[in-house]
Structure 1
Amino acid sequence: MSQQIGRRTLLRGGLGAAAASAVAGLPGTAPAAGRATHAAAQPGAVPTVNPLVRQRADPFVTHPVGGMYYFTGSVPEYDRIVVRGADTIAGLGTATESVIWRRPASGRMGGHIWAPELHRIDGRWYVYFAAGDSDDVFRIRMYVLESALADPRDPTGWTAPRQIATEWDSFSLDATTFTHRGRRYLVWAQSEPEIAVNSSLYIAAMSSPWTITGKPVRIATPTRSWEIQGFRVNEGPAVLVRNGRVFLTFSASATDARYCMGLLTADADANLLDRASWVKTPDPVFTTNERTRQYGPGHNSFTVAEDGVTDVLVYHARDYRDIVGDPLYDPNRHTRVQRLYWHRDGTPLFGVPVGVGGPIVRLSPADAPTAYVRHADYLLRVEADVRELADTQFRFVPGLAGEGSTSLQSVNFPDRYVRAAGDAVRLDPVETGADFAGQASFHRTEQSSGVTLRSAGDPGRYLRHDRGRLTTGPTAGARTTFRLD
């Protein structure tokens, strides 16, 4: 959620508004910004509109349960808990929302309702959430709802909330739970009375879905410059176990454009209740991006795509930097999703919060399957082991050259497109005129091992890999075939 007293914060996409106006009058210009239509996802793509759900902060999407995804998140009124469900991630965007619990008119839990999470544990549903009281909306504590019904959208199955007791009766929130090696844990944010920060992160073992056991262990506290902007905050933990490690993301600083995500890592064989097992990455892993116009990304969760293996990052962000009044009461933190990638060393690659649009792909030449097309200084090349994920990410959008063509839009420079002029391939901003339209458009042909991209402006030439360069040339098998990842 966010803090005030005590704390605080693939479809086919269209061209951006600036690009669309720049090519006005050309055939085949893209739809207006913000419009998207469902289309078949590329292999490994996350097939969903961005943003997925408007005005829902602190988003949580379950892994599929019985073929269904379920979603919950904070509503701008902070007065109720909602759940929606769909058989695809994309379907959550338009799914009917059910109110499963409302705060009482007064008394305990009658204040702000924050950051619900929905978990399936031993055949029952549990919602972890934080609530303040009517006489002090910021007297935030953690609670759990329980339902024995199969469908968490049914409001009749939910029991009265139980409070999660911790060592201190102090500001506490953002509880999440996970199991590892047969043991269940709770991780949450709390204001420890003797520490002069708004909230730190704690972990404890659990003896039931609403009870911790043993002494809580503080595993992170805000000390770095990016964690103390506006408020000194570590909050919103989310856990992902992969590649022999336990990764724990969290959010930091105030809930405006300074809000960002950090990362803790523990070895999967380590004692997770030992503070020394957790190592904080020195720099934030996910931050505001001016070029994509995504501000204050954070309070994330993780799910998997419909293929069951592709990891998906779920988070909220705003489309603008400037906020009138307290950012806590600005309603426009929208739920967004994008694919989470992995570096060859087994660590996650978050990239940048992507802007409005459809599926994002990386192109890997068939003759260099461990390398990717990337841009650097606006030149296109082919490299392996690229840590700058966003430099390798593109969107196929309607082609500037008209019907039947496609253009490749950069994700982290959305005003620029792949342009082949002769044998030079660059990332260039849109220019008016038919020459640019032809050079920045391609005819895409599906192959058994990938796709070929033939220049719309020079039909005898294809995008081609040549010893680490991306150039053009006649068709030549693996050099002009690209796998989409």
Structure 2
Amino acid sequence: MPQNNLNRRSLLRGGGAAAAGAAAVPLLGTSASASAQEPGRGAGQGPTGASNVLTTRDPLIEQRADPLITYPHRGMYYMTGSVPEYDRIVVRGAPTIDGLAHTRESTVWRRPESGRMAGHIWAPELHRIDGRWYIYFAAGDSDDVFRIRMYVLESRAADPREDAWQLRGQVETAWDTFALDATTFEHAGTRYYVWAQEEPGIDTSSNLYIAEMDSPLKIKGDPVRIAVPTEDWETRGFKVNEGAYVVVRNGRVFMTFSASATDANYCVGLLTADARSDLLDPASWTKSPRPVMETDEANSRFGPGHNSFTVAEDGETDVLVYHARSYRGIEGDPLYDPNRHTRVQKLNWYPDGTPALGIPIAEGEPVVRLSPLDSPDSFVRHGEGGRLVVERVGDRVERSQFRIVPGFLDPGRVALRCVDLPEHHVRVSDGSPVVAPYADSDEYGRASGFLRDEGLADRGGVSFRLSEDPHSYLAHREGRLVVERPRSRADRERATFRL
């Protein structure tokens, strides 16, 4: 066998999976009634309390990599993903995202005992297209489990968990080479197919391609290459672009994808195209210079990737779905380490309209962002030297994310813990609030303890009163977080925050 095939097998032992969602994923301008019928509902920018609608269960589902949770369809979420045995395709359903954690799981297709598709089964994606369900997946053969090609199943049943699936064959492309991680989306009346493949003559393990679909079973035209792994963060371990997923928002088409080997090097990148552009023109796509999500040591989340998106039960809160391990060290081949778990967290958006995936967040209390009533488009965030500012967050959304946790000295008090620095809390030092690392002392406990009150303003929200001074509150003043004694109505607005 040629050496390049051997290299490809080595790659696949370190990567190979997919991300997915539902038939089409525009997150803007879909009516609530439509969301109950077909996927695609979403909205919800701005400083609402919607982050609390998400489960804090972490992981949501153990040992399910390459997770896809559909948008609600007739009141149900459906989920699929890779199983550690790589021998079958599973689907589970529940009326809530959290319910997916403990609902029954149905095996809807199992690989044959030998021959074609009897090798590794990877990264199923579940899509609702024109009133039918489709599962796109990748499979190897029994005599070569890494001879991965793309296939599709079809079901006319209303519930994708039913035993009604038919194998409709291979989705063929221009080359008979390693191919996987197919996704599909519809935009401006055209349905597209996106996948990862090894192209002859290019020294990479997989690039990203797009083509128009002739039907849910077949592409038409030649593949268009839109991404090749060239950056350092895309070539760690292996040169990989894979696991694409598309979301349309704010006049642009955003395509997340995963890169590098599937150990702690795995990460998420982003391609962006103008929604009015020709998506089959490679020049329409721009790649992010850095990953938009990667390993986070402080939160013990390693190799996040292969994401999809859905919307929370409120119909407004966008949700990021992905997998990650909770440890770095892996014995042997990462492909056979089973503990890539399905996780979910809120998807935020930056003021420029781009998705803010942030860091992979650890388990714990709900994540909140504090937005003062007098500046509703701004958030409290920590900056250099622990300084706390109030501004529109243009990057590093994780610096504006906090958890409201029990105080250290008095259970009636609360503390504000940083999400990206989980050993740091907001404390008052010399009359000013700052972010500081935890210290096992009464002084730190007093300085970081607050009374959580109903908002001082008459428009809801919450306020945080100092433990040591019952008349003083955290407040916004000229782009900074300060301590003040509110006296006027304007003062009370500055000392009241939306979560």
Q: TM-score, normalised by structure 2?
A: 0.87
**Kept in 2: contact 1:185–1:206 (CA 8 A):** yes
Farther off after superposition, 348-357 or 45-54: 45-54
2:417 partner amino acid: Q
Post-superposition offset of 1:50: 2.3
Match of 2:494 in 1: 479
2:477 is the counterpart of 1:462: no
**Kept in 2: contact 1:270–1:277 (CA 8 A):** yes
2:379 partner amino acid: Y
Match of 1:34 in 2: none
Whole-angstrom distance in 1 between the partners of 2:461 and 2:185: 38
Match of 1:453 in 2: 464
Match of 2:207 in 1: 200
Match of 1:352 in 2: 359
**Kept in 2: contact 1:50–1:358 (CA 8 A):** no
Match of 1:79 in 2: 87
Whole-angstrom distance in 2 between the partners of 1:320 and 1:477: 45
Q: Which whole-Å deviations, capped at 9, do the CAs of 1:78-126 have from their partners, x for residues lacking one?
A: 1111111111212222222111111111111111110011111111111
Match of 2:45 in 1: none
Q: Which whole-Å deviations, capped at 9, do the CAs of 1:294-337 have from their partners, x for residues lacking one?
A: 11111111111222232211111111111110111111111111
**Kept in 1: contact 2:111–2:118 (CA 8 A):** yes
Post-superposition offset of 1:422: 5.2
Farther off after superposition, 240-249 or 191-200: 191-200
**Kept in 2: contact 1:394–1:408 (CA 8 A):** yes
2:397 is the counterpart of 1:389: yes
Whole-angstrom distance in 2 between the partners of 1:189 and 1:311: 26
User: Gapped runs of 5+ residues in structure 2?
Assistant: 1-7, 16-47
Post-superposition offset of 1:159: 1.1
Whole-angstrom distance in 1 between the partners of 2:472 and 2:483: 6
Over the matched positions of the two proteins, sequence identity in percent amounts to 59
**Kept in 1: contact 2:92–2:103 (CA 8 A):** yes
**Kept in 1: contact 2:312–2:318 (CA 8 A):** yes
- SS at structure 1 position matched to 2:428: strand
1:74 partner amino acid: S
**Kept in 2: contact 1:444–1:454 (CA 8 A):** yes
1:309 partner amino acid: E
Alpha carbons of structure 1 residues 471 and 223: separation in structure 2 relative to 1, 3 Å: same
- SS at structure 2 position matched to 1:431: coil
Match of 1:180 in 2: 187
In the TM superposition, 1:208-287 aligns within 5 A as 208-287=215-294
**Kept in 2: contact 1:341–1:349 (CA 8 A):** yes
Whole-angstrom distance in 1 between the partners of 2:9 and 2:445: 50
2:101 is the counterpart of 1:93: yes
1:142 partner amino acid: M
Whole-angstrom distance in 1 between the partners of 2:339 and 2:132: 32
| Residue 413 (structure 1) aligned to one of 406, 409, 421 | 421
Post-superposition offset of 1:42: 3.3
| Residue 77 (structure 2) aligned to one of 69, 75, 100 | 69
Q: Which whole-Å deviations, capped at 9, do the CAs of 1:174-209 have from their partners, x for residues lacking one?
A: 000000011111000011122111001111111111
**Kept in 2: contact 1:443–1:453 (CA 8 A):** yes
Post-superposition offset of 1:455: 2.0
Alpha carbons of structure 1 residues 345 and 392: separation in structure 2 relative to 1, 3 Å: same
Whole-angstrom distance in 2 between the partners of 1:401 and 1:104: 61
Alpha carbons of structure 1 residues 106 and 450: separation in structure 2 relative to 1, 3 Å: same
Post-superposition offset of 1:458: 3.1
Post-superposition offset of 1:338: 1.4
| Residue 429 (structure 1) aligned to one of 412, 437, 441 | 437
2:150 is the counterpart of 1:135: no
Count of aligned pairs between the two proteins: 450
Farther off after superposition, 209-218 or 413-422: 413-422
Post-superposition offset of 1:284: 1.5
**Kept in 2: contact 1:381–1:470 (CA 8 A):** yes
2:322 is the counterpart of 1:315: yes
**Kept in 1: contact 2:49–2:498 (CA 8 A):** no
- SS at structure 1 position matched to 2:367: coil
Match of 1:22 in 2: none
Q: Give the RMSD, CA atoms, in angstroms.
A: 1.6
Whole-angstrom distance in 2 between the partners of 1:189 and 1:53: 26
Farther off after superposition, 50-59 or 89-98: 89-98
- SS at structure 2 position matched to 1:152: coil
Q: Which whole-Å deviations, capped at 9, do the CAs of 1:363-392 have from their partners, x for residues lacking one?
A: 011112222111112122212243121110
- SS at structure 1 position matched to 2:445: helix
2:475 partner amino acid: R
Post-superposition offset of 1:6: 4.6
Match of 1:16 in 2: none
**Kept in 1: contact 2:268–2:304 (CA 8 A):** yes
2:387 partner amino acid: L
**Kept in 2: contact 1:6–1:199 (CA 8 A):** no
| Residue 156 (structure 2) aligned to one of 148, 151, 169 | 148
**Kept in 1: contact 2:51–2:366 (CA 8 A):** no
**Kept in 2: contact 1:316–1:335 (CA 8 A):** yes
1:304 partner amino acid: V
Q: TM-score, normalised by structure 1?
A: 0.89
Farther off after superposition, 303-312 or 103-112: 303-312
**Kept in 1: contact 2:351–2:392 (CA 8 A):** no
Post-superposition offset of 1:46: 5.0
Post-superposition offset of 1:437: 2.2
Whole-angstrom distance in 2 between the partners of 1:6 and 1:386: 36
2:372 partner amino acid: P
Whole-angstrom distance in 2 between the partners of 1:241 and 1:436: 46
